[in-house]
Structure formats: C-alpha cells, structure tokens
With several copies, the nearest count.
Chain A
Amino acid sequence: MKKIEAIIKPFKLDEVKNALTKIGVQGMTVNEVKGFGRQKGHTEVYRGAEYKIDFLPKVRIEMIVTDEMVVKVIETIERAAKTGKIGDGKIFVSPVEEVIRIRTGERGKDAI
C-alpha cells in the first residue's frame, strides 16, 4: 500500500475527486493548505502598505491505495489537476505499512 499526497489548486478539487471516484478510489482525506513554490505569490495592498503574500491557497489530498492502483491514480490526478500553468502542484508517493479500519478492525487492503 502507498500513500499518495497531491497538492493541487483549490478549484480543481471537485474535478479531481470525480475523476478518482470514476477509477474506483473509495476514500480520501482532504485539507486546505498554503503553498510556497515557484508560482510567485501576489502583492496585497492595505492602506498603501504592500504585503508580499508568498503562500497561496492549495488543497492537499491524501489517499491510501493499493500498490496496483498507484500508477492509475497518479495518472488520473495529473490529468484532472493540470492547467499547464505554474503552480499546478505536486504528487508525492510514500510507503505505508499498515492500514486499519476503525469500525471493523479490518487490516491491510480490506481496510482501504
């Protein structure tokens, strides 16, 4: 099992979620984050004072998937989240050793 984390543009969340459910992803956990990256922030002006805002609103999706799904999930996210403009975000893949479903106590793949 792997953990796939995707940092995407907020307005892409629905598209990505729909694309993922279509390929059979049944669960994910999402939260709002602020991203710093190549996409430069913007300047906000409050009463003449300029504030450089380096952190931009992004959405982080976290998903545990079986090893077989990894490639498909990545592809799907890439397709759905892409605008081609800087700041589209990243996907990170990392190892997960165990998954447990609290309700049933199921372990491993069954728990996903």
Chain B
Amino acid sequence: MKRVFFPLPMLGLLMANAALAAESAPALPKVDTGDTAWLLISSALVMLMTPGLALFYGGMVRSKNVLGTLMQSFMIIALISVQWVIFGYSLSFGPDRWGIIGDLSWFGLSGVGLAPNPDYAGTVPHQAFMIYQAMFAIITPALLMGAIAERMKFKTFVVFTLLWSTLVYDPIAHWVWGTGGWIRKMGGLDFAGGIVVHISSGVSALVAALLVGKRKGFGTEPMALHSLPMTITGAAILWFGWFGFNAGSAIAAGMLSTSAFVVTHIAGAGGALSWAFGEWIYKGKPTTLGAVSGAVAGLATITPASGFVGPMPALFIGLTAGIFCYMAVMGKNKFGYDDSLDVFGIHAIGGTWGALALGLFASKAINAAGNNGLFFGNPSLIAVQALSVVSAWVYSFVVTFILLKILGWTMGLRVSEEEENSGLDLSQHGETGYSF
C-alpha cells in the first residue's frame, strides 16, 4: 500500500512523471528535495534501530552472552543488506508473479536506478525507496532472534537468517506492499509493517522458541538481565528510529508523515504508561523494564495503523497495546515455553492487534489512499485485515517450522551444553564482553 501514501493530489503528477520518465529518463526535476531528505534520514533512522534492538536485547541477557546477542543483530545488518541488493529487493518489490512473489528481473539492482519509480515513490529516487526497504528487511529477522537468545549456534544462525529472509520475509513483504501482491490487491492495509515485520517475526519467534527449546536452567536458575541501562538505551534508540520507521513510510515529508509521526509517539507513550501502571497495580511496583517494554509494544502496535488513524485512536491503541502485550507475556510464564526476550508476546500480539485495530479506527480523512474502518462506517475493512493477519500467521508459522526442522537435522540448532555454560561470547566468538 505504500505507493499511495502521499497526498492524493500528487498522484496525478506522479503518473505524469512516470510517463515522462519512460520517455526521457532520467527525469531529473521530479525528485523532491524535501521528500528525499526525509526518506534518506528515515532510512538512517531505521538502520539505527537494529543496533538499538541489539542493545535492547543485549541488556536482557546474561553478560556471558552479550556479544553473541549483539553480534546477531550486527551480522544480520551485513548479511541481509547484501541479500537485499542482490535478490531480496527483487523478490519483494520486483515485477509480480501470481500475486505472491516478485521475479528476479531486478537481480543485483539492475533496473533499480536513481530516477523515481512511481509504482512505489514518485518524488524520490528509486534507490532511496530500495534502501529504505532494506532496513525493514534487516530488522525483522533481528527481532526474531530474541526468542532464542543465549543458545543458538552461530553457524546455523547465519544460514537460518538468510533462508528465513528469503522464504518468509520477502514473500510476505511482496503480498502486502509489492505491486500486484495479493493482500495489497485485496485492500489489506499495513502502513509500516505490523504484518510484514511484527507478525512475521513474532510468530516465527514462537516457533523458534518451541523448536530450539528452553535455555539450560530456565525456570530453575535466576537469569538476571545483565544491564538494564543497556536495555533502556536500546529502547530509546528504537523509539527514536521508529519515527523513521512509521513516518518515513509515507515516503514523503508532509501531512501524512506528520500524522504518522504524531500517532507513533502517542502510542509509544500510551504503551509505556499502561504496562508500567498495569504492573504497579498487579505486582506492586512499576518497573523500568515494564515501561520500556510497554513503549516497544505501543510502537509495534501502532505500526500498521500509523498512517491511517488519528491521535486519539492512537492513544487508545497504545494504552491497550501495553495491556495486551503485558498479559501475553504473563501468559508465557504460565505456558512455560522459553521465548526468552518475549518476541511473540510483544511483536506478534502487538502487530496483530494493530493490524486489526486499524480496521476499527482507520479514516480516509487521515489518508485518502487508505480506507475507512468500522467506526467510520466501513465494517468490511476489518474482515480484510483479519484475513491478511491470519495468512501471515499461518505462512510464518509453517515455513519457519519446516526451516528449523531441516536445519535442526542437518546443522543442529543449539550450541552444546558446555558451550551454553561458558556462554556464546566465548564459545562462538572467542571473546569476552567486559573486563572492568
């Protein structure tokens, strides 16, 4: 749906550009400097989110695994960036095949140049759109890894990441955002990745937690977070970057990006408040981990809705996100699987609730290229959203399951027990995090 997320009046212009561009590329004057500045800085912000996530996660593990955790995020940046420019972008956004995948005609970015591609973004260079999307492809598998922190074999992680991106992320991105993608054509909305990013990673995280199994000592030994200040710093960077994530998804600097920016901030605040106050009431003390987790929950939840809803619905979505995700995380403690850093509880639940909530609160007054939700007189949107969500759940679950089963048989998923005792830092990377 990204193509149409800038003020409609510009659309005619863009089409004109497209025509022009076809005639006499490169159509230089069509690139808007303000829109390009915004998309580039948004790309940088979303890029920064992955190291932010690394810190967010890294602070939550024991100190013997801090490097292993940071390294996963860092390696994903390197791996997926290369995957993306070679074939990932083409699979996700390239010319459509059967509504389910892009073909390989943009292999190695051939044909992805500096002139705008009006299919996706009429006022910025095509490569700007491409690199912006790269950052989304990067952070998604990085999110996933939180579920299996502190125990994954590095070699298998590398292979898994590459395959998962190719087989799970790229197709779903195509369905939802690619020209011709079936969800997009059906009218399913996902402004900035509630389905593409949060559901895909969150559901796959659950599968991974189940198949990789619990950490040694889970439930019997305390597994204290080694540095909450690191986690809080990471959360702050995530929040900062999320402005690029959501407001950047307008692919232009204007009213829509402003609206997305505002609702993003509000939902983050709402999530932080409701999680922390929920704990305060339920457990007696508001925790800092709860506050930052709630913020991330609020931000994840508003993501799909961020270009479609107004400030007060955003506040509602943020507040409910904090509560729902808190409940989901509490639920985990009951079920006993070891989704170590609560990727499922926060991202799958948040992404799902956000994708459905936009079916309630979306308004064409905010985004004429979007749709109206239930409360604006259109009950059908929520059905479309539900179908989109379920498809992403099922697809992510099944493919990740098969992938991990195969990798489990062939390469092994976990480090040995002794390696787990000594920690990933030493066993996988031959390094030690700290030496004060």
Determine whether A and B are in direct contact in the complex, meaning some CB atoms lie less than 8 angstroms apart: yes
Given A11-B421, A14-B221, A51-B222, residue A44 in contact with residue B329 (CB < 8 A): no
Asked whether B426 is an interface residue with its Cβ less than 8 Å from the other chain, the reply is: yes
Chain B CB within 10 Å — which of A42, A43, A47, A52 has the most? Answer: A47
By a CB distance below 8 angstroms, the chain A residues around B293 are 47
By a CB distance below 8 angstroms, the chain A residues around B432 are 44, 53
By a CB distance below 8 angstroms, the chain B residues around A53 are 222, 224, 432
By a CB distance below 8 angstroms, the chain B residues around A48 are 279, 283, 326, 329-330, 333
Interface string of B316-335 (1 = CB under 8 A from A): 00000000001001100100
Q: Is the interface of A mostly helix, strand, loop or mixed?
A: strand
Inter-subunit contact A45/B220 (CB<8 Å): no
Residue of B nearest to A42 (CB): B426
Give complex CA distance A43, B432 in Å. Answer: 11
Contacts of A28-57 to chain B: CB distance below 8 A: 42-49, 51-53
Give complex CA distance A38, B430 in Å. Answer: 20
Classify chain A's interface size: 10 to 19
Chain A CB within 10 Å — which of B220, B289, B430 has the most? Answer: B430
By a CB distance below 8 angstroms, the chain B residues around A49 are 333
By a CB distance below 8 angstroms, the chain A residues around B290 are 47
Asked whether B155 is an interface residue with its Cβ less than 8 Å from the other chain, the reply is: no
Give complex CA distance A40, B237 in Å. Answer: 37
Give complex CA distance A49, B431 in Å. Answer: 12
Asked whether B285 is an interface residue with its Cβ less than 8 Å from the other chain, the reply is: yes
Interface residue from A9, A11, A46, A52 paired with B431 (Cβ < 8 Å)? A46
Interface positions of A (Cβ within 8 A of B): 9, 11, 14, 42-49, 51-53
The 8 closest A-B pairs by CB, nearest first: A48-B330, A51-B222, A14-B221, A11-B421, A47-B329, A49-B333, A45-B283, A48-B329
7 A-B Cβ contacts within 8 A?
A14-B220, A14-B221, A42-B426, A45-B285, A45-B287, A47-B329, A51-B222
